Chain A
Amino acid sequence: MPAVEIVSQFLRRCAGLVFVTVLVTFVAACANSSTVEQVTHPDELKPLAFLNAGPVSRRDIEARFGVPWSVYEDGRIVIYHFDGLDEPLRRAQRSGNLHLVIVYASDDNVERWSLVHMDRQK
């Protein structure tokens, strides 16, 4: 077999390998990006829309989230923890530990709330 043919065969094989590598990397990146898209809209965050919909009472909150994790100022401020999303969210370099902080007004309706991302690393 002439040397030129050997070299060209070798190069063809290399090109094939490069193509397969690029294809696998692209598919993996696509799969990963779709995972990120899914975990950034988890079911646990859907209740936030419910919080914005209008007056929300303490009873509504407790029916939805149960007993709060922490209570401050005799129940005026409560905190719920959502820890179930750790692994996929950490893969996406986002917080895996979310705290929902709710401040009630004197009529026991939600006055203010926030979602705090814990486990922040940089």
Chain B
Amino acid sequence: MKGRLSSAGSVAMILRRRLAGLALLTPLLISCVVPYPITEWTYNEVPESIVRNIQPGTTDRADILLRLSEPWIRGAGDGYFVYSWLESLGGLGVVGNVVVPVPLVSATKMRCHCLVVQFGDDGRVARVTTLDATGTAWQDMYAFPCPGEQMKEAIQEWLAQSPARP
């Protein structure tokens, strides 16, 4: 009887130890896949104040370059410039491995902005617009195409709408 009790006690002790071990391991197992939020940021934004100050018929190519420097796209014969900037609207990522966190997957809502400035033959701004498009960046946010193919088409459509007049 005493032996049986002792054996039951040792089994209970083993069970308790295993449960304690499991309790210790659980956070580690859970933390093997840890979600993390991706913050919002903007890269190379063209400030609204600069866009507002671009006056068709008055502002010239030199003014634009002095304020914004190199455009992302130089149109043929410098007939237009495209300045693009990328904005992260936030997202969610997951890292694995507790000791050395390894990014497994991330999804970030991205917005690509484009400032399109069309020049007349006199070198002054003929028209100006801003276009934007949203999409999802998987993994590398900086690899998100800005402008992407659709945006490039939209830019060409806008440029073709009404030719610049000197």
Residues of A within 8 A of B (CB): 70, 72-73, 76-77, 79, 99, 101, 103, 112-114, 116, 118-122
Contacts and interface: CB of A to CB of B under 8 A. Distances in A.
A103 B45 CA distance: 24
B61 A73 contact: yes
Give the size category of B's interface with A: 10 to 19
A86 B68 CA distance: 19
A112 B64 CA distance: 12
A70 B70 contact: yes
A122 B65 contact: no
A72 B62 CA distance: 9
Main secondary structure of the interface of A (DSSP, over half): strand
B69 interface: yes
Interface of B: 41-45, 61-62, 65-70, 78, 123
Contacts of A99: 69-70
A76 to B, nearest CB: 7
B42 A122 contact: yes
Contact of B45 (A72, A101, A116, A122): A122
Contact of B78 (A72, A103, A121): A72
A97 to B, nearest CB: 9
A121 B43 contact: yes
19 contacts: A72-B61, A73-B61, A77-B65, A79-B65, A99-B70, A101-B69, A103-B62, A103-B65, A103-B66, A112-B66, A114-B67, A116-B67, A118-B70, A119-B43, A119-B44, A120-B44, A121-B41, A121-B43, A121-B44
Contacts of B67: 114, 116
Contacts of B62: 73, 76-77, 103, 112
A73 to B, nearest CB: 6
B69 A118 contact: yes
A94 to B, nearest CB: 14
A83 to B, nearest CB: 12
B66 A101 contact: yes
B69 A120 contact: no
A51 to B, nearest CB: 13
Contacts of B66: 101, 103, 112-114, 116
Given A79-B69, A119-B43, A122-B41, 12 more contacts: A72-B61, A77-B61, A79-B70, A99-B69, A101-B66, A103-B62, A112-B66, A114-B67, A118-B44, A120-B45, A122-B42, A122-B45
Contact of B65 (A101, A119, A120, A121): A101
| 6 nearest CB pairs, A to B | A116-B69, A99-B69, A114-B66, A103-B62, A121-B43, A101-B66
Contacts of B44: 118-121
